[in-house]
Amino acid sequence: MSLLEARSRIASAQAITILTGAGISADSGIPTFRGTEGLWRNYRAEDLATPEAFERNPQRVWEWYNWRREIIATKQPNEAHHALVRMEERAKNFHLVTQNVDGLHRLAGSRSIYELHGDIWKVRCTSCLQVTDNHEVPLSLLPHCHTCGGLLRPHIVWFGESLDEQTLNKSFQAVKSCEVMVIIGTSGLVYPAAMLMPAAKANGAFVVEVNLDPTHSSPSAALSINGRARDIVPLLL
C-alpha cells in the first residue's frame, strides 16, 4: 500500500473519519503525554488528573492546568491541523474525533469535532455542573462559579471518569460509517478511544496511520506512515 493509493482513497471517499492525539499538536510545540519528553514522564497522573487528586488538592491540580493553559495559549495550529480543514471542505461526510483538549482543531477551522477528553478552555462547576468557556490565563488557583459560588474544575475527562456518552456514541457512529479512517499522532493506549480503530476496521474501513513512530496499531492499518504530522498529513490531500 502506497501513499499515492491512500491519497486516491481519501480523494474518492464519501465518508472520512479522523482520530487525532497529542502527536498532531506536538508540531505546534505542545508536549505529548507518553514519549521521552511526555508529560507523564515528569508528572504523576494520579496527582493531577484524577477526581481524587482534585478532592485532595484542587490548588495543585489548577496550578498544573494553568501551566498547560499558559503553554497552549501561545501556540498555533500547524500544517496538519490546516490540512484537515481542507479535507473537511472537500469530503461529503467528515468527522474529526480528537483526544486533544487544546482547541487547536477549532482554532484552525475544523467544524465537525468530537472532543472525547474535554476542552482545556472550558470550566465546570462542581456544584451546579454548569459548563462555561473560560480563556483566563492564569485563572485563580481556586476559581469559583459566578452562578452558584461552587468550586470550578477543568472540563477535562480525568482518569477513572466516564467520557460524555453522546460524544462517545457519535464518535463510534462516525468510525463505523466511514470508508477511510486516518489516525494521527496517538499512542492508542487510552480507552475507550483505542477501540475506535478496531470498530472502523470491523466495518470495512480503510485505515491509514500517521505517527512519528510505529505503534501497536500499526500492523492493523492498511498503511502506516512514520513521520511528523505536519509533514505527512498535507500529503494525504
Q: Contact positions toward ligand OAD, by CB under 6 A?
A: 21-23, 26-27, 32-35, 38, 99, 101, 117, 156-157, 185-187, 189-190, 211-213, 215, 228-229
Measured between alpha carbons, how far is 1 from 88 in angstroms, rounded to an integer?
Answer: 24
Q: Are 229 and 24 in contact (CB under 8 A)?
A: yes
Q: Alpha carbon of 120 to those of 69, 133, 172: distances in Å?
A: 7, 9, 23
Q: Are 85 and 108 in contact (CB under 8 A)?
A: yes
Minimal distance in Å, beta carbon 216 to ligand OAD?
A: 10
Q: In what order do the strands lie in the sheet with 131-133?
A: 131-133, 118-125, 152-156
Measured between alpha carbons, how far is 180 from 114 in angstroms, rounded to an integer?
Answer: 17
Cell of 162: 466516564
Cell of 15: 465518508
Minimal distance in Å, beta carbon 158 to ligand OAD?
A: 6
Minimal distance in Å, beta carbon 154 to ligand OAD?
A: 10
Task: Specify the residue, 174 or 225, whose C-beta has the smaller distance to ligand OAD.
Answer: 225
Q: Are 93 and 12 in contact (CB under 8 A)?
A: no
Q: Is 117 in the active site? A: yes
Minimal distance in Å, beta carbon 149 to ligand OAD?
A: 27
Query: Which residue in the list 95, 105, 117, 155 is annotated as catalytic?
Result: 117
What positions carry a catalytic annotation? 117
